[in-house]
Each structure stands twice: as structure tokens, then as C-alpha cells.
Amino acid sequence: MQRQISIYDTTLRDGTQREGISLSVEDKLKIARRLDEAGVHYIEAGYPGSNPKDVEFFSRIGELALKHAKLVAFGSTRRPDAATPDSNLTALTDVKTSCVCILGKSWLLHVDKVLGTSPEENLRMISDSIGYLKGAGREVIYDAEHFFDGYKDNSEYALATLRAAAEAGADWLILCDTNGGALPDQIYAITRSVVETLPGRQIGIHTHNDGELAVANTLAGVKAGAQQVQGTINGYGERTGNANLCSIVPNLQLKLGYACVGDDQLRQITDLSHYVAEVANLVHDTHLPYVGASSFAHKAGLHVNAVLKNSRCYEHIPPELVGNRQRILVSELSGRSNVLAKAQQFGLDISSQSADVRQVLDTLKQLENEGFQFEAAEASFELLIRRMQPDYRPPFELVDFLVLVERRRGNGIVSEATVKIKVEESVFHTAAEGNGPVNALDAAIRKALLQFYPELANVQLVDYKVRVLDGNDGTGAVVRVSIESGDGKDRWGTVGSSANIIEASWLALADSLEYALLKSSGTRLDERTVRNGLEAG
């Protein structure tokens, strides 16, 4: 029988201590619901006495209607030489959570220098606080802060703090590597010592990533006998972050054979990772293991050739197990296999011996030499292939454009663009103003095309990036413009490159709109067909 591991998420508390994260009450409610759907067992939501935002959150927890997870209020032991309960403890029992997590000191350095109290009083603080919370009918999770540093400094005292917590009735004893500096063999040995010293107690592990070992340290703790893992989505947290649950859970379940969440819930973890990043207003790290967009992306021709024959050649798990997908990239490093795979994805039948493949490769390498890059611009690459097909007819053609930028007294900077666009045998000549030259060009193009393609009204610019490719040329440098567009359902990337930023922008904009029309025409395969085709290949 698989050993069950309890998953404890502290994104809403420890995760918000990351520089650059500030979650509103609504944000925290949204994330809590998604964590519950993903099978998390405990959701640590914050310290109810620390700020008005957390006070409001705990007053609204009835809105969550959690089906799986227990919501946890976080706090600390009573203050030195204070009566029990003090305000720290009453804040925890004033909220309606069945479970609380309480923090206590394990390291004599902190007892002396931070708390400014005696070792004996620290033990009383732990015992009194947990006794009060148990008397109030709460499940108590005791976080032994700095436990591994404390154990290395004075193992007898560190263990004494755990005994005090256990004898007072703590349901869980969590060993914390708060400074994030321990190594996996140290974590294993110390956790194993605790498990053997306190048999029958529920032990957990909480690690930080200062040595980039938080995930490895967590796995070592579990292998030594820990039954609960604490961490955050995407590893968000103070300094360099906490242990990343998006890596820990798949590693435990798929690699080590422990039971963490249901298989269907594990398949949600990639979406959960992206969702939390979006709510936190952070760019999702494409290189995150398991859940990043690049986790199962293949670029080198040799690799692509192999994975199309058998994905196990260069993929450590089937990406679908964590809700991710295989991606074939195209670049100057691409070989025939990359082009064939992408053509198949686009629904095009190109023989491996076809001259089309060589033409695509030659064109691709030439364009990349000119500054284009197609790894994040798959829509532009699809158009590149389709434009080489003899029966392809572009939905529109640029005849010419003029962009003016003028500084007018009293009106600031004014940008205006005039375009002539040919659709079939008709030429549309329009003009528009904008917040800048690129915005004016975009507005003019749309004004012309909407007369013929009203479906383009749904296409919105999601992101616009400009990169200078060689700063040595100063303002005359070649620039690459990357655009992400969406229609409310899908998103796609396009690219343009030129020494003229307006021309580079036009190339990316035109590709974006042309791809939207191609997509709406139904010639593009849906994702399921694409995936099945790649697997068959």
C-alpha cells in the first residue's frame, strides 16, 4: 500500500513574502479555491492578527465552501513571560478554522538573541501555547523554526522543543530548514533521528531554497519518514523562495511511489501553476520543471528525431501526467524532423525527402540570421510554411503605409498612420491616430481589414516586446518585435525584425492578423488532433 503524504500549501502566507507579490483578499480566495480543487490537504492562509487584509480574508472563509482542504490560521507562540493566552493566541482562536499552525523556536541562538529569554521559558511558551489551542478544540501543527540549524548547534535542546510540543498535544511536528542552508544528507539524517526518537508522532518537513536544494531536501525528509510536506506553488517565498510543490508532488507520486493527490488532480498542476502566477501578476517561468512551457520542449534536430519515434528518448515522464504537453521548437539548430513535426501539427503533408523541407530550413536559418526568432512565434513559423505552398493565398496584402509622428503645441505627441491594403481585388486606403506610431499603424490596419473581415474585432494585442539585437549600432540597431495576440480563447505569438522598428512591428502585426484569419477559417487542426498526430509520429 502506498504511504500517504499530506500536502500543506503556504502560498497564501509564506509565498506572499516573496518580493513583488501582493495578493488582494479576492486573489487569496481565488487561489484557495484552486488549491482545494487540486487536492491540497492543508491551505495556510495567513496570520489573522497581522493586518486588515488577513482579518478580512478569515471573515470571508465561509464563501470558500472547500471540499477537500483544511484552511489553516498561522501564528506564533505566546510572548516571553506573558500570560496564556496573549493576543497572538487569541487571534488564532477568534477565527473559525479547525486547524492552526503555530511557530516556535528550536535554535538557542534565536532563543537568546531574538526572543531574549531563557531556554526554559521558551519550552514553557511552546507547551502553554499548544495546550491552549488544543483546549480550544483546534488541530495543531507545530512548525519548529530553524530546527535543523538548532539541531546541529544543540541536538538535545532542539529535541526538547519537539517533546514539549508533542506532550502538549501537537498533532503535527514540522521540521523547518528556515535559512535554507541544509544539505540533503543532513536533512535525511536529522529527520531520521527525530522519527526514531519520537516514534508514532506525525512528522513534516518545511524547507527553503537558499541553497537551491529545497525540493531535494523535502524528498530526503520524506524518505527519512516525514509524512507531510510544506511548500508553495512555483516555489514562491521570501529571499530565494520555498520548496516548490509543483516539483515535489510529481516527484513523490510519479518517481517515488507515494500517494499525494488523485491522478486527475495531478493533471491539474500545470494549470494551477500558471493560474497562481497570473493572479500574482508574475510572468510564469517557462523553465520550471514539470509545469513550464519549456519542460517538454525540444529544439535540437537530433532530439526531435528521437522523441517523434519514442518520446521516452528525451522525456522523463509523459507530459500529460502533469497536464503539460510536448512542444517542438524551430530555430537555426533545427533539422528535417523539426520541420516535419511542425508541418504535421499544422495539418500539412510534407515528405521528408521533399524540396519544401530544405527550402523551409534554408529560409528559417536566413531569417534567424536577420534577427527573427520563431521559438515563441509559432504562428509566424506556420505562416512561413504555408506561404511556401503553391495553393496558399494570403487574405490581404500591404500595398504601402506612411506613419507620422508630430509634436503639436498644446497637444503633445500625435501619431498618425495611413495604409493601403489589398484584399482580393479591392484596395482599402485608410488612416488612424494612436498612442504611438505602432498603435496608430495597428489601428489603421484594423480599420481597413474590418470592412472585409469583421471577425478580427475579437483579436486583441496581449503583449508587445522590442529587443535590440546589437547595441553597438546604437539607434540604428536591428530590433526584434515579438507580439502575443489573443481572441479570448487562444493565444499565439508572431515576430518581425528590421533596423526600422515600424517595419518590424508591421511584420509582427500582419502575421498576427493573418494567422487569426487562418485560424478562424478552420484550416488549422485542433489541439487534440495535433497531439494525436504527434504521438502517432
Residue 386 near residue 342, CB atoms below 8 Å: no
Where on the phi/psi map is residue 12: left (φ > 0), alpha (ψ -120 to 50), or beta? alpha
Q: Cα–Cα distance between 464 and 495 in angstroms, integer?
A: 10
Task: Label residues 146-176 b or e (16+ Cβ within 10 Å = b).
Answer: bbbbbbeeeeebbbbbbbbbbebbbbbbbbb
Residue 529 has what pLDDT?
34
Query: 224 is written with which cell numbers?
Result: 527519512
pTM score over 0.85: no
Percent of the chain scoring above 70 in pLDDT = 89
User: Between 219 and 394, whose confidence is greater?
Assistant: 219
Residue 338 near residue 301, CB atoms below 8 Å: yes
In order of their start, the domains of the chain are: 6-279 (3.20.20.70), 397-520 (3.30.160.270)
Q: What angle do CA 212, 218, 220 make, to 5 degrees?
A: 105
Q: 40 pLDDT exceeds 50?
A: yes
Residue 482 has what pLDDT?
87
Residue 148 near residue 175, CB atoms below 8 Å: yes
pLDDT band at 531 (very low <50, low <70, confident <90, very high): very low
User: Between 351 and 274, whose confidence is greater?
Assistant: 274
CB-side neighbour CA atoms (13 Å) of 223: 17
pLDDT band at 534 (very low <50, low <70, confident <90, very high): very low
Q: Cα–Cα distance between 103 and 304 in angstroms, integer?
A: 50
Q: Cα–Cα distance between 383 and 272 in angstroms, integer?
A: 32
Highest mean predicted confidence (pLDDT) among 120-124, 324-328, 414-418, 426-430: 120-124
Q: Tell which residue, 100, 73, 68, has the closest CA to residue 261.
A: 68
Amino acid letter at 482? S
CA 149 to chain centre: 30
Q: How do residues 320-354 score in pLDDT, each as one tens digit?
A: 999 998 876 665 555 566 666 666 666 666 655 55
